[in-house]
Amino acid sequence: MNDAITAYASKLDPQRADICANLCGAINELLPQATGRVWHGIPVWFMGENPVVGYTARKQGVMLMFWSGQNFAEPELTASGSFHMAQIPYNDASEINREKLAGWLSKAGTIIWDMVGERNAFVAKRRAEKAKAKSKVRAKAKVKAKAKAAAKKVSKKKRPARKK
């Protein structure tokens, strides 16, 4: 078990620490290919660079979260946020159904929202849009500069003297 994850649970009251210990043990056992660490202050397990499961202590109990959980089609998991996350609260370790948890963890290991890839694609798209907008501004500025230079040339040409 990761020392930072152990430290996270050690700061909690016994009831929530017990829930965390049960969840952590189950995740490590049933999703061994995932790597656990404390991320944004909470224990999270990753497949590659993508978060798949984690939990956070609440005032009452612990919230178990699956980053692709909305794609699991599981009625016990409630949608959370505008992305793909779904979650389930636990107020006592006895509420954890090991069979259901095993099924959800199995899905978490195979139904993976590519958050990193999606973020990178979004960033690349934004950069392309900004570059296109900049090039339009530069093109307009270039045209304007050429027109200004042409106007200067015309004004510099000697004009014939006026006849009196």
> Is pLDDT at 79 greater than 90 in this prediction?
yes
Whole-number Å distance between alpha carbons of 65 and 56 = 8
Angle separating helix axes 3-10 and 14-30, nearest 10 degrees? 160
Is the domain of 104 the same as that of 23?
Answer: yes
Burial of 93 (0-12, 13-18, 19+ CB in 10 A): middle
Using an 8 Å Cβ cutoff, are 45 and 34 in contact? yes
Is the domain of 131 the same as that of 99?
Answer: no
Q: How many domains does the chain have?
A: 2
pLDDT at 161: 64
Tokens of 153: 């040339």
Q: What is the mean pLDDT of residues 8-31?
A: 96
**Cα-Cα end-to-end distance for the chain:** 101
Query: Is residue 42 in some structural domain?
Result: yes
Is the domain of 76 the same as that of 137?
Answer: no
Q: Which CATH number is 73's domain given?
A: 3.90.1150.200
> Is pLDDT at 94 greater than 90 in this prediction?
yes
* For the chain, percent of residues with pLDDT exceeding 90: 59
> Is pLDDT at 114 greater than 80 in this prediction?
no
Domain that holds residue 127: 114-155
Using an 8 Å Cβ cutoff, are 50 and 115 in contact? yes
Q: Can you spell out the DSSP letters for 97-164?
A: -HHHHHHHHHHHHHS---HHHHHHHHHHHHHHHHHHHHHHHHHHHHHHHHHHHHHHHHHHSPPPPPP-
Is the domain of 126 the same as that of 149?
Answer: yes
> Is pLDDT at 127 greater than 90 in this prediction?
no
What mean pLDDT is reported for the chain? 87
Tokens of 136: 């339009």
Q: What is the mean pLDDT of residues 3-23?
A: 96
Angle separating helix axes 98-110 and 14-30, nearest 10 degrees? 50
Whole-number Å distance between alpha carbons of 105 and 31 = 6
pLDDT at 7: 95
pLDDT at 2: 80
pLDDT band at residue 135 using 50, 70 and 90 as cut-offs: confident
Tell if the pTM clears 0.75, that is, is over it. no
> Is pLDDT at 88 greater than 80 in this prediction?
yes
Query: Is residue 15 in some structural domain?
Result: yes
Least confident of 8-12, 51-55, 151-155: 151-155
Tokens of 22: 């049960």
Whole-number Å distance between alpha carbons of 74 and 85 = 12
pLDDT (tens digit, 9 = 90+) per residue, 148-164?
777 776 666 655 666 66
pLDDT band at residue 126 using 50, 70 and 90 as cut-offs: confident
